[in-house]
Chains A and B, each alone.
Chain A
Amino acid sequence: MIGFIKKDLAMIKSNFKLLGILIIVYTIMGLMGKMDISFILPFMCVMIMISSFSYDNYNKWDAYSISLPNGRKNSVKSKYITTILLTLIVSIITTLLSFAISYVNNKTINYEQILVTMLGVIFGTLLVLTFMYPIIYKFGVEKARIGIFLLVFGIVIIGSLLANYIDLSNVLKFLSFLEDYLIIILIMVAIIMVYVSYKISEKIFIKKEF
């Protein structure tokens, strides 16, 4: 499986420069007290990995990968592991930079706020992965892009409709009750949803014919 991860990393290495530039821009903007763009960085990791699906598809790698030992399973596994690893590494770098920026600007660091924000961003990133990857495996990258647009659109519509019928103060009360457990709940939910997504993608790719 290491081989598949190395191949995915090699394919996206040209994007590392872009990530590096974004991290520098983030640091400068942070130091100048301008807009916080830290949320973009982990999200970029998923976007970059999605481009690796395009390369695979364009160069007909998928059929070949099946002719390699354990190719069907490892192809899928490597996409998930590489995305998660990349997201976590970039998130850790961004968090450490946030601490540093906060220290330089205020001389005090609000550890909790920065960590919770970053966990939220990682969760959001993994949510995109959870929905996108099975759709990509089933329908291909191009259709998946339309899919994600429809998904976000659907969530906004359903959310706004629900907001009309549900008393938001009750929701906020419920959320404040969860607050003490928020981090652990987010981590558990993230692990479960990514695992379920991975299993669905694996099932799709195992059945796929080229």
Chain B
Amino acid sequence: MENVLEVKDLCKKYDNFELKNITFNLPKGMIMGFIGENGAGKTTTIKAILNIIKSYNGEIKIFGLDNRKNDNKIKEEIGVVLDDMFFPEILTPNDINNTMKGIYKNWDTKMFYDYLKEFSLLPNKQIKTFSKGMRKKLEIITALSHHPKLLILDEPTSGLDPVARAEVIQIFQSILEKDDCSILLSSHITTDLEHIADYITFINNGKVVLSKNTNELLDKYAIVKCTEKEFKNINKKDYVKYKKTKYEYEVLVENKKDFKAKYNISVIDKITLDDLMVLMIKGEE
């Protein structure tokens, strides 16, 4: 399968933080959820992909092209939403339209205004009068209105209430139905991703912990709940991490089927991305 985004051995060192050999691929037409706790390195990785930070080691290819050598060509084809709000508050959606019309070759004014109408954003109101959810929606529809082939979205749902989050997620789903677009979506709100992400890349402390197909991941991984006695019988090789709670042990296993066949433990729960993240980060080996 053709990859729209390939990140290979990405390394970047700061005084108090380091990205270590970040490697993952986003296949064409897919949504990848990029998960990890705050400060895990998601935004730094995205900034490297976008050349907002330049002094890194490793290779990043977008649409098969080196991102540093083909910066302008690539950026015509990608839509971006960054973690922080980034439109000057004194501008209006009309100003954003005029600005982007002069920046993107493929800017679609009709599409932009259709989206504004759909999400009840008034074109002549200053952005500072918008709520956080409305601002995020404006940023998202701006990222969409030049028909990008790749969307790079850093925490687009963070800080939004559940209704606004659901609306935003719905926008992404509708784009995928309409356009041949791929999405890299970073979030620490993993429930948003379980339903829409085809792939999950999980990053912790500057390292990729796993990068897998979502269904495969949720099917294969599981949480085994057992007593201390049962836990002591489990071979270390057969689990990834474990956590001791007040009454039981929660054990993260990578291969549910094999585990079931080998051990006679009845409580094997389906895993959520939240569980996976918490156990991977906080669990003991």
Report A's interface with B, CB cutoff 8 A.
1-7, 10-11, 14, 55-56, 58-61, 63-64, 66-71, 74, 207, 209-210
Instruction: Determine whether the beta carbon of A4 is less than 8 Å from that of B103.
Output: yes
State the CA gap A112–B91 with chains docked (Å): 41
Q: Which of B53, B101, B102 has the most CB of A within 10 A?
A: B102
State the CA gap A128–B23 with chains docked (Å): 47
Instruction: Determine whether the beta carbon of A209 is less than 8 Å from that of B54.
Output: yes
In the complex, besides A11-B88, A209-B52, 8 extra interface pairs with C-beta distance below 8 angstroms are A4-B99, A5-B102, A7-B88, A7-B99, A60-B84, A61-B88, A64-B80, A68-B80
Interface string of B50-65 (1 = CB under 8 A from A): 1111110000000000
B94 to chain A, nearest CB (A): 8
Main secondary structure of the interface of B (DSSP, over half): loop
Judge if B100 is at the interface, Cβ distance under 8 Å. yes
Judge if B72 is at the interface, Cβ distance under 8 Å. yes
B156 to chain A, nearest CB (A): 14
Residues of A within 8 A of B82 (CB): 60, 63-64, 67
Residues of A within 8 A of B98 (CB): 3, 6-7, 10
Residues of A within 8 A of B90 (CB): 11, 14, 55
State the CA gap A59–B127 with chains docked (Å): 11
Residues of B within 8 A of A4 (CB): 99, 102-103
B225 to chain A, nearest CB (A): 44
Instruction: Determine whether the beta carbon of B86 is less than 8 Å from that of A11.
Output: no
State the CA gap A71–B102 with chains docked (Å): 12
Instruction: Determine whether the beta carbon of A61 is less than 8 Å from that of B99.
Output: no
27 example contacts (A-B, Cβ-Cβ < 8 A) are as follows A1-B102, A3-B99, A3-B102, A3-B104, A5-B102, A6-B95, A6-B99, A10-B98, A10-B99, A14-B90, A55-B88, A56-B88, A58-B88, A59-B85, A59-B88, A59-B89, A60-B82, A60-B86, A61-B87, A63-B47, A66-B50, A67-B152, A68-B104, A69-B75, A69-B76, A74-B103, A209-B54
